[in-house]
């Protein structure tokens, strides 16, 4: 099975708009994108041979050049490895040692000292491939590794998630059917393209549908608002993590009308607080929270056709998408009752076959074909799922399980709170107690006593944080997830805070 929607649309809708590089303003039709991908695939096949399985890495901000190299790598039968440009040199060296890439395309100002293969500047790619001798590329089978996505590493060393083109097809199909993406859609991509949400949900999915991908260098709240509100761009869909949505709402001069033209504002990557969803939906912005992972692709979403439901089920990540089966199980792998919390397990064609060079981790991550997500979840009486938290972020206070995401959702109800994160810290009496880290909105003030009083009115006593730390920033990964490991390290260095 050969899955190449760009080649297909180049034949049947050659002049249809495929993508726009918003930094340069340059536009590609499907015929033009197919031409550039074909040239680059031939160049790669000339370098490494067809269907080589060679790793081709990138390091740089979002661009259509990255998309072209990605699609060409797949056509040439190599494996695409987008690196997180925010990582430090030693961190990148670990990824290079694991993936062993032979080619690195990088932006000016980005490089990897530890890399010993061929280096190409992003700005040089078009000229190099346009003059290269044509070598017939050959794709690998759709169930062979095509992309390696290194996880954010919130709690340990990054893992190389194997993504096949079979996985991509079903993950993107899930996203498109769940969010109404069609040939008439235009999806703005601010999410980094080394992340599954950027590369697949915001770019590959709309190309699979025959729509238009609008690729920006990265998230800029003021610029994003202007682009979504611009009728000339015609943005119909936008995906972000909840923190990005919070920043848009808090921008000076923000008005809901700037986002009301969206058919869907999709969120994921972290639990979206109920208060925020209600705020957006009440303002006429169809915010649909979902759930996905590098390992599973787009997996859940709220039905976007019913705005009343979006509000009534605010806080839910919705229903499993069409290709996914879901279970919530206890420690012994038995299904829990509706309304009970357990670990979310998933099965379906969008789920990874495993981790690069880590057979033991792969074996531990699957049970009878079910992928163990590591997320604590609950399914309500209507079949709607709620991601309670990462299981490893849960702490136990006085014998009771506390899921920080639930506490964080209560904190976000406070108007003065821009960001919030909660971790468990050691306590002689209770085993662990909560500590809340809070970033205040500019021009707002808040006392710790007021924070605790707010929580006391909304949470069980054992869930109320024992302390509050006001901070200038909260460490996050490139995908917007809080680095709770780093917060715990800060806590260990200053336990008396």
* pLDDT tens, per residue, the chain with 497 residues: 568 999 999 999 999 999 999 999 999 999 999 999 999 999 999 999 999 999 999 999 999 999 999 999 999 999 999 998 988 788 889 899 999 999 999 999 998 888 999 999 999 999 999 887 778 889 999 999 999 999 854 445 679 999 999 999 999 999 999 999 999 999 999 999 999 999 999 999 999 999 999 999 999 999 999 999 999 999 999 999 888 898 899 899 999 999 999 999 999 987 788 889 999 999 999 999 999 999 999 999 999 888 889 999 999 999 999 999 999 999 899 999 999 999 999 999 999 999 999 999 999 999 999 999 988 899 999 999 998 866 677 787 866 667 787 788 889 889 899 989 998 888 877 777 889 999 998 989 999 999 999 998 878 787 899 999 999 998 887 667 788 878 877 766 555 55
How far apart are alpha carbons 218 and 203 in whole angstroms? 13
pLDDT at 70: 98
User: Which own/partner pairs from 286-291 qualify as long-range (CB within 8 Å, at least 24 positions apart)?
Assistant: 286/262, 286/310, 287/245, 288/179, 288/264, 288/318, 289/242, 289/314, 289/315, 289/316, 289/317, 289/318, 290/178, 290/266, 290/317, 290/318, 291/317, 291/318, 291/375, 291/385, 291/387
How far apart are alpha carbons 43 and 233 in whole angstroms? 33
Integer distance in angstroms from the first to the last C-alpha of the chain?
A: 58
Cβ atoms of residues 311 and 278 within 8 Å = yes
- For domain 5-385, give the fold: Rossmann fold (3.40.50)
Question: In 154-168, which positions are buried (b, 16+ CB within 10 angstroms) versus exposed (e)?
Answer: bbeebbbbbbbbbbb
Q: Where in the chain is the domain with CATH 3.30.300.30?
A: 402-493
CA angle 17, 478, 146 (to 5 degrees): 60
pLDDT at 492: 61
How far apart are alpha carbons 196 and 186 in whole angstroms? 18
Give residue 88's Cα distance to chain centre: 20
Contacts of 52 (CB under 8 A, 6+ apart): 45, 76, 77, 78
pTM for the full predicted model: 0.83
How far apart are alpha carbons 309 and 51 in whole angstroms? 47
pLDDT at 51: 95
Contacts of 34 (CB under 8 A, 6+ apart): 6, 7, 9, 10
Contacts of 230 (CB under 8 A, 6+ apart): none
CA distances to 101, 210, 373, 391 from 359, rounded to whole Å, are: 20, 37, 17, 23
pLDDT at 155: 44
Q: Where in the chain is the domain with CATH 3.40.50.12780?
A: 5-385
In this structure, whether the domain defined by 402-493 belongs to CATH 1.25.40.10 is answered with: no
pLDDT at 153: 47
pLDDT at 176: 97
pLDDT at 399: 60
pLDDT at 297: 96
pLDDT at 152: 56
Place of tokens 């009496």: 429
> Phi, psi (5° rounding) for residue 253?
85, 5
């Amino acid at each position: 099975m050969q899955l190449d929607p760009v080649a297909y649309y180049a034949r049947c809708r050659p002049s249809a708009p495929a993508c726009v590089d918003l930094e340069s303003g340059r536009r590609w039709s499907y015929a033009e994108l197919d031409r550039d991908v074909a040239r680059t695939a031939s160049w790669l096949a000339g370098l490494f041979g067809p269907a080589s399985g060679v790793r081709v890495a990138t390091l740089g901000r979002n661009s259509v050049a990255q998309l072209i190299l990605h699609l060409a790598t797949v056509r040439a039968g190599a494996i695409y490895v987008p690196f997180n440009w925010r990582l430090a040199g030693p961190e990148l060296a670990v990824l290079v040692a694991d993936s062993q890439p032979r080619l690195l395309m990088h932006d000016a100002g980005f490089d990897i000292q530890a890399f010993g293969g061929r280096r190409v500047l992003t700005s040089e790619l078009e000229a190099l491939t346009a003059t290269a001798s044509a070598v017939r590329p050959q794709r690998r089978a759709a169930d062979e590794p095509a992309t390696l996505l290194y996880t954010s590493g919130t709690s340990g060393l990054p893992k190389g998630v194997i993504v096949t083109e079979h996985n991509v097809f079903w993950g993107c199909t899930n996203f498109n059917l769940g969010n109404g993406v069609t040939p008439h859609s235009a999806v703005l991509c601010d999410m980094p393209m080394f992340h599954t949400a950027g590369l697949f949900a915001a770019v590959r999915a709309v190309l699979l549908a025959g729509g238009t991908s609008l690729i920006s260098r990265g998230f800029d709240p003021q610029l994003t608002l202007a682009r979504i509100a611009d009728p000339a761009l015609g943005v119909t869909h936008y995906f972000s993590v909840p923190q990005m949505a919070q920043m848009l709402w808090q921008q000076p001069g923000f008005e809901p009308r700037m986002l009301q033209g969206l058919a869907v504002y999709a969120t994921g990557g972290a639990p979206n607080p109920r208060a925020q969803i209600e705020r957006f939906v009440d303002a006429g912005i169809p915010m649909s929270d979902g759930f996905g992972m590098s390992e599973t692709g787009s997996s859940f979403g709220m039905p976007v056709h019913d705005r009343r439901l979006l509000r009534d089920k605010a806080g839910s990540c919705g229903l499993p998408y069409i290709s996914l089966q879901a279970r919530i199980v206890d420690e012994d792998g038995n299904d829990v009752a509706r309304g009970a919390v357990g670990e979310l397990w998933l099965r379906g064609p969008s789920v990874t076959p495993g981790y690069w060079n880590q057979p033991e981790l792969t074996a531990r991550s699957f049970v009878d074909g079910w992928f163990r997500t590591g997320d604590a979840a609950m399914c309500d009486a209507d079949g709607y799922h709620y991601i309670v938290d990462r299981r490893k972020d849960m702490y136990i206070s006085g014998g009771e399980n506390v899921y920080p995401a639930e506490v964080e959702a209560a904190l976000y109800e406070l108007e003065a709170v821009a960001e919030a994160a909660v971790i468990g810290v050691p306590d002689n009496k209770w085993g662990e107690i909560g500590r809340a880290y809070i970033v205040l909105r500019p021009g707002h003030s808040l006392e710790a006593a007021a924070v605790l009083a707010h929580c006391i009115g909304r949470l069980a006593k054992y869930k109320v944080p024992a302390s509050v730390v006001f901070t200038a920033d909260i460490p996050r990964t490139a995908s917007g997830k809080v680095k709770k490991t780093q917060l715990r390290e800060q806590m260990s260095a200053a336990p008396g805070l």
